[in-house]
Structure 1
Amino acid sequence: MPAAVAVPDEENVVEDLFGFLRLLSDGSIFRSPVDPEFSPTTFPRDHPNVQWRDAVYDKANNLRVRMYKPSAGAEPVGRKLPVLVHFHGGGFCLGSCTWGNVHSFCLRLATEVGAVVLSAGYRLAPEHRLPAALDDAEVFLKWLGDQSVNAADVWLAEAADFGRVFVTGDSAGGTLAHHHAVRVGSATPKRAEGDVDPVAIKGYVLLMPFFGGVDRSKSEAVEFPLGEAPFVNLALTDRFWRLSLPVGATRDHPIANPFGPDSPGLGSVEFPPVLVVTGGTDILRDRNVDYAERLAALGKPAKVIEFGDQPHGFFTLEPWSEATGELIQLVARFVVDSCVVDPNIA
């Protein structure tokens, strides 16, 4: 793909995402170096009870993870903290673990859940179409496994309990979490009895996961008065899929539609507890509910919680809101309920 170019002439733009990402008629791509308006720099960059730092987990692709850990006191002395692996949203085309809204949400997540939060970046489309992001998620989890064995990053190893890992994701990040769960739960041959995985994933939290399909759901088909369409609307999600899926693929591609005609069956997949969060005013609401209900019907430990009046991604649009606080407490309870720790084990 051609390298990024100078700000293009409007007549050469064939796809435009808020002026932040533009695809030109000659196939070249322009990405603005400025964070978009929905990621203001006014969000807090630090928290008195959280330490954070960056690391590179994939040197070949220059992929970073931003790591957060609460200050001492989040757990009893000698007890390490659960780990939340977090993948950001952005329709596989936008987003970064360094954006102000993502960073601020992770600060709050770390301190209020009492967990090490690892916010991992991944390659974006259309420069790197799917399954590139899925591959990067797997590379990151392998990196985490290496960390659990080698303790190469002392700052992380001294706080992280690799036996209590949860994979979370916002929107497209939730889609990554789903596919990772399927990969792990489908692994063959299964580990022999007594074998210990260096990273024990105890659950998945899918925050308004970005799923699609050729057939429209009821929440996708809602018509809004002129000028009142939500920030995440049908035109935007269609554009995301068009730019991120393999060329020529439809929205029923298995990455987009977990229950599509060509998607693998999930009946034999072993899932740990799965929490799906959706919003009542999110156009993805019906897909999120349908996903959780289908998993539950297959006998998987999945449940869905709906925030009735909230739009898509409300927790990163307003990371310090009351509703976001309620969501984080929900995640905290899920972590506790999914992994009860013997108090006699340090």
Structure 2
Amino acid sequence: MADQMAASDSNPAVDPYHHLQIAPNPDGTITRLAEYPNSPPTCDSNLPTPVLSKDIPINQSNNTWVRLFLPRHVLDQSPSPTTKLPLVVFCHGGGFIILSAGSTIFHDFCVNLAIDVPVVIASVQYRLAPDHRLPAGGL
């Protein structure tokens, strides 16, 4: 037991700023050092994509929006689409400090979920912390 404690004491603590690839600024905000790939919405119904997606502004002054995902098979019904699907509200990961609803990892996740389940998905782009502290954070 003492050997385990000594071994854990010799490991330096993880620097969360380095781990998340962010740098703190004197004013309390952060600089996001990493660039993550983003995917555009796929709203052209002529494209052979199994899921259509579109960005809808929520509050333009706050740069908040929602990306809606709709499985194509709903639109392909004849003579008119009548299928009602459940709505999933998806808040992307990133610890509320990094990434966005347009990040490729979350875009692809929502596309796959809309195909597999099927559901309509509203992936919300919210303001990130610590730049937008509560209660200003969110939408």
TM norm. shorter chain > 0.5: yes
Is this contact kept in 2: 1:63–1:122, CA < 8 A? yes
Give the Å deviation of 1:100.
Answer: 0.9
* Partner residue, 2:23: 22
Is this contact kept in 1: 2:67–2:122, CA < 8 A? yes
* Partner residue, 2:58: 57
Is this contact kept in 1: 2:24–2:31, CA < 8 A? yes
For residues 24 and 125 of structure 1, the distance between their equivalents in structure 2, rounded to whole angstroms, comes to 13
Instruction: Sort the Cα spacing of 1:17 and 1:107 in 2 relative to 1 into closer, same or farther, 3 A.
Output: farther
CA deviation vs aligned residue, 1:232-271 (integer Å, no higher than 9, x gap): xxxxxxxxxxxxxxxxxxxxxxxxxxxxxxxxxxxxxxxx
Normalization by structure 1: what TM-score?
0.29
The residue correspondences of 1:255-270 to structure 2 (distance < 5 A) are none
Q: Is structure 2 residue 120 aligned with structure 1 residue 124?
A: no
Normalization by structure 2: what TM-score?
0.67
Identity level (%) = 34
Give the Å deviation of 1:27.
Answer: 3.9
* Partner residue, 1:48: 49
Q: Cα RMSD between the aligned structures?
A: 3.1
How many corresponding residue pairs?
Answer: 116
Instruction: Sort the Cα spacing of 1:19 and 1:50 in 2 relative to 1 into closer, same or farther, 3 A.
Output: same
For residues 27 and 130 of structure 1, the distance between their equivalents in structure 2, rounded to whole angstroms, comes to 13
Instruction: Sort the Cα spacing of 1:17 and 1:25 in 2 relative to 1 into closer, same or farther, 3 A.
Output: same
Unaligned runs of 5+ in 1: 1-13, 137-346
For residues 78 and 28 of structure 1, the distance between their equivalents in structure 2, rounded to whole angstroms, comes to 47
Q: In structure 2, which of residues 81, 84, 90 is the aligned counterpart of residue 86 of structure 1?
A: 90
Larger relative helix fraction = 1
In structure 1, what residue type is equivalent to 2:23? R
Is this contact kept in 2: 1:70–1:111, CA < 8 A? yes
For residues 116 and 75 of structure 2, the distance between their equivalents in structure 1, rounded to whole angstroms, comes to 9
Instruction: Sort the Cα spacing of 1:29 and 1:49 in 2 relative to 1 into closer, same or farther, 3 A.
Output: same
Q: Is structure 2 residue 124 aligned with structure 1 residue 95?
A: no
Is this contact kept in 1: 2:89–2:121, CA < 8 A? yes
Range moving further from structure 2, 79-88 or 15-24: 15-24
In structure 2, what residue type is equivalent to 1:128? H
For residues 89 and 57 of structure 1, the distance between their equivalents in structure 2, rounded to whole angstroms, comes to 19
User: What SS is found at the alignment partner of 1:107?
Assistant: helix
Instruction: Sort the Cα spacing of 1:112 and 1:124 in 2 relative to 1 into closer, same or farther, 3 A.
Output: same
For residues 122 and 134 of structure 2, the distance between their equivalents in structure 1, rounded to whole angstroms, comes to 22
For residues 83 and 89 of structure 1, the distance between their equivalents in structure 2, rounded to whole angstroms, comes to 19
In structure 2, what residue type is equivalent to 1:58? N
In structure 2, what residue type is equivalent to 1:50? V
Give the Å deviation of 1:72.
Answer: 2.6
Is this contact kept in 1: 2:87–2:119, CA < 8 A? yes
Instruction: Sort the Cα spacing of 1:93 and 1:106 in 2 relative to 1 into closer, same or farther, 3 A.
Output: same
Is this contact kept in 1: 2:28–2:131, CA < 8 A? no
Give the Å deviation of 1:28.
Answer: 5.0
Query: Which of structures 1 and 2 has the larger relative contact order (alpha carbons within 8 angstroms, sep 6+)?
Result: 2
Is this contact kept in 1: 2:74–2:83, CA < 8 A? no
